[in-house]
Each structure stands twice: as C-alpha cells, then as structure tokens.
Amino acid sequence: MQSENGQVYLTIHDGIGEIVFNRPEKRNAMNLEMWRDLSQLVAMCATDAAVSVVLVRSADPSVFCAGGDISEFQTLRKDAVTNLAYNRTVKDAVLGLKNLAKPSLAMVSGLCIGGGTEIAVACDLRFCADHTRMGIPPATLGFVYDVAETKMLSDLVGPSRAKDLLFSGRLLHAAEAYQMGLVDRVFADRLLLTETLNYIRLLLNNAQNSIQGCKGIVDALNAGARVDDPRLKQIVDDALDSPQYQEGVRAFLEKRRPNFKKFR
C-alpha cells in the first residue's frame, strides 16, 4: 500500500503526508479497493507523528479524480441493500478525512468529479489549478447525494449553490468554483505545487496544537455544538497552558521567530 505502484499511496516527507491517487488509466476513478486504501492511509497519517499536514493529490496533473468507478455500480452498488456495504467503505474514507485532527489540503488539478469532489470537500482546504473543472453528477445518474456529503457541500457554498451543483450536475471552471467558495485558491498550473507547498510550510512553522485546536472548534460549531460547550473551552484553556504558548509569546517579545517544531 505504501508502494508507489499502488492505486492510492502515501508518501511522508518534511512533516507532510501526501496521499496520492495513481490510477491514470481510469482517470483515478475510485473503486472499492481504493476507498478502502484511502481509509487506511488517512488512519496512518492520523497516528504517524511524522505527519503534521495531510496533502491529497493526484500523480497525474491532468485529472484529480473522475469520480466513483461506475463499472462497479451494477454489482457492488446495485440497490439500497448492496449500497449499505459500499457506502460504509466510502463513508469510512470520507469521514476519516473529515474527522482527521490534523489539517488537510486537497491540491486539485484537472478533472474533479463526484467522488473526487467528495474527497476534496472533506479536506479542510482546496487549492486548484486554473484549468480545473469540478462537478457532482448524481442527478445525471439517478441517485441522491449522500446526506453527510450534502451538508459538507452546503456548509461550504451555501444552500443555493449546493442546489445548483446537485440539480444540474454541471462542471464548474476554477474561477466559478472559487467565486462560490468551493475552492479556496486558484493558481496557474505551473505554480500550483509551489504555492501549495509554500502554504503548507506556513502551517508547518505554526503551532500544531493551535491549528488542531482551531480545527476542532470550527468543526464542532459547524456540527451544531454550542458556543458555551465546556469541551470547546477546554481546548482553548489547554493551549494557554501549553509550552507552545510560552514559546510563542517569548519569541514575539524577543523579536525572533518561534520554534514550535521541538514540540511535535
């Protein structure tokens, strides 16, 4: 699974866990095995202390992911009953990514459809190339987009844009995806990787307890937690008692860059 010959593989370097889609002959269409592998790779990123930030990308810049592998649908997902098992596997991967404590970023380049958009939307952030096209096609296939994924989408772009995408199944260009908040940044193709890594380095230099704490609070509020939830206050308090905070304030007053890396 770790090998670069896999259809999805993980490579870890410099604090980054890169999960890479690599099934070019099928434009990275996700079959059940790939969903299962994705789950496991996300779980490995969660536990491996060498990973601070997760980057999800394709080995092939012309396509991020063409969606679920529909050739499997007539056997593995032919009705509501078989969908139970199929869906559980997809959900494990998507929610694994969504619920990861560490920050995640999808670098999207080229076609990004259905399951591809699902994966990208489950990440915290989405940076894309200017030639990217994104869409969500269930209405062209006769099924209904899953509830958890619909909520993620609607939280991101609002109910009206979510309906536009889901009703029509149309493909958006990068500029429109950016305008509606479906992606967070658009770069010229040749700059995408550099700019993405620059941004990730920004995160790697920051205090990871702070990043993870902020992520936990944003996600909890989004899932309906109340502002006075004591578990959220605890996250804030824990950080104020942390050595990272001591280092951050000291570095500021000494007019030097903080060194948070020793606290990983």
Q: Which helix (H) or strand (E) holds 20?
A: strand 16-21
- Tokens found for residue 8: 């999805």
Question: Residue 246 corresponds to which amino acid?
Answer: Q
The full DSSP string for 130-144 is: TT-EEE--HHHHT--
Question: Residue 123 corresponds to which amino acid?
Answer: C
- Tokens found for residue 35: 């969903």
- Tokens found for residue 77: 């997902």
From 159, 188, 191, 194, residue interacting with a copy of itself (rule: CB under 8 A): 159
Which residues 1-20 are close enough to bind a copy of itself by CB under 8 A?
none
CA torsion angle for 219, 225, 229, 232 (degrees, to 10)? 0
Indicate whether 259 belongs to the interface with a copy of itself (CB under 8 A): no
From 3, 5, 47, 160, residue interacting with a copy of itself (rule: CB under 8 A): 160
Report the SS3 class of residue 172.
strand
From 190, 226, 256, 262, residue interacting with a copy of itself (rule: CB under 8 A): 226
Indicate whether 264 belongs to the interface with a copy of itself (CB under 8 A): no
Indicate whether 162 belongs to the interface with a copy of itself (CB under 8 A): yes
Stretches 12-20, 30-38, 40-48, 155-163: which one binds a copy of itself (CB under 8 A)? 155-163
Indicate whether 249 belongs to the interface with a copy of itself (CB under 8 A): yes
Indicate whether 260 belongs to the interface with a copy of itself (CB under 8 A): yes
| Closest distance of CB 23 from a copy of itself, Å | 18
Q: Please name the residue ranges forming H helices in 48-110.
A: 73-76, 80-98
Query: How many CB atoms within 10 Å of residue 219?
Result: 15
Indicate whether 239 belongs to the interface with a copy of itself (CB under 8 A): yes
For residue 181, which phi and psi values (nearest 5 degrees)? 90, 10
Stretches 9-17, 28-36, 37-45, 152-160: which one binds a copy of itself (CB under 8 A)? 152-160
Which residues 187-216 are close enough to bind a copy of itself by CB under 8 A?
199, 202-203, 206-207, 209-211, 213-215
| Closest distance of CB 1 from a copy of itself, Å | 28
Indicate whether 156 belongs to the interface with a copy of itself (CB under 8 A): yes
Provide the greatest CA pair distance for the chain: 64
From 33, 60, 92, 184, residue interacting with a copy of itself (rule: CB under 8 A): 184
Q: Is 257 exposed, middle or buried (0-12, 13-18, 19+ CB in 10 A)?
A: exposed
From 12, 43, 148, 171, residue interacting with a copy of itself (rule: CB under 8 A): 148
Cα atoms found within 13 Å of the Cα of residue 75, Cβ hemisphere only: 5
Whether 75 contacts 25, CB under 8 Å: no
| Closest distance of CB 20 from a copy of itself, Å | 22
Indicate whether 168 belongs to the interface with a copy of itself (CB under 8 A): yes
Indicate whether 143 belongs to the interface with a copy of itself (CB under 8 A): yes
Which of 37, 123 has the CB closer to a copy of itself? Answer: 123
